Chains A and B, each alone.
Chain A
Amino acid sequence: AQSVTQLGSHVSVSEGALVLLRCNYSSSVPPYLFWYVQYPNQGLQLLLKYTSAATLVKGINGFEAEFKKSETSFHLTKPSAHMSDAAEYFCAVSLYNNNDMRFGAGTRLTVKP
């Protein structure tokens, strides 16, 4: 079955600094990959999605992720962190035509002023 592993349960950055959240996937076939964000007391919201059209995927709120097949990675980045980016971020994987989406354990991002 497909799965994802998020490296680092907590990441802390200063406002204006680069955000890098790491995700590695495991899949026997080309996967769909996702990043979701969860703000306190809310459900998850989709940030971006990879579907093999392009390896660099741009999402909302200035986030982007790059699919690297050789490294089985799909890391999330943002050039300059904002206080409003503080939240929990989840990487997820599903297989084409198989609506079975699996989430990573999540990474809590803290942004310091």
Chain B
Amino acid sequence: DSGVTQTPKHLITATGQRVTLRCSPRSGDLSVYWYQQSLDQGLQFLIQYYNGEERAKGNILERFSAQQFPDLHSELNLSSLELGDSALYFCAAMETPNEKLFFGSGTQLSVL
């Protein structure tokens, strides 16, 4: 158990809908990353937050957004969902200063 909690574990929804994925890092972890993993695209970095502020952006679509709250949990919002958004979404928290990432077990999103 990495200590990083992601909910829900599975999510099934329809095209055009909006969903919110939640991530709770370990106590003291200020930095949270979101990744998308799919068979065709591999593990893609989406976005990083550090202590409530956006720090880096990767291949995140405009339909997607994220935020990190004062208690350091983070949410990834996916809207106007398309079939191609079906993937495993991982959250990871970084332990500093050794930059070790701890991954959650992921949220499997299925868009039907």
Contacts and interface: CB of A to CB of B under 8 A. Distances in A.
Interface in B71-112: 90, 92, 94, 98-101, 103-106
Given A99-B94, A103-B42, A105-B42, A42 B101 contact: no
A102 B42 CA distance: 12
B55 A49 contact: no
B74 to A, nearest CB: 14
A27 interface: no
Interface string A23-50: 0000000001010100001111110010
Interface residues of B, number: 24
A51 B99 CA distance: 10
B105 A49 contact: no
A43 B104 contact: yes
Interface of A: 32, 34, 36, 41-46, 49, 51, 90, 94, 98-106
Contacts of A45: 2, 103
Given A32-B99, A94-B99, A43 B105 contact: yes
A102 B43 CA distance: 9
Interface of B: 2, 4, 31, 33, 35, 42-43, 45, 48, 50, 55-56, 58, 90, 92, 94, 98-101, 103-106
22 contacts: A34-B101, A36-B103, A42-B105, A43-B4, A43-B90, A43-B92, A43-B103, A43-B105, A44-B43, A44-B101, A44-B103, A45-B2, A45-B103, A49-B98, A49-B99, A49-B100, A90-B43, A98-B56, A99-B48, A99-B56, A100-B45, A101-B101
Given A42-B105, A99-B94, A100-B55, A106 B99 contact: no
Contact of B55 (A42, A99, A104): A99
B2 A43 contact: yes
Contacts of A100: 45, 48, 55-56
A41 B31 CA distance: 24
Given A43-B2, A43-B90, A44-B90, A101 B33 contact: yes
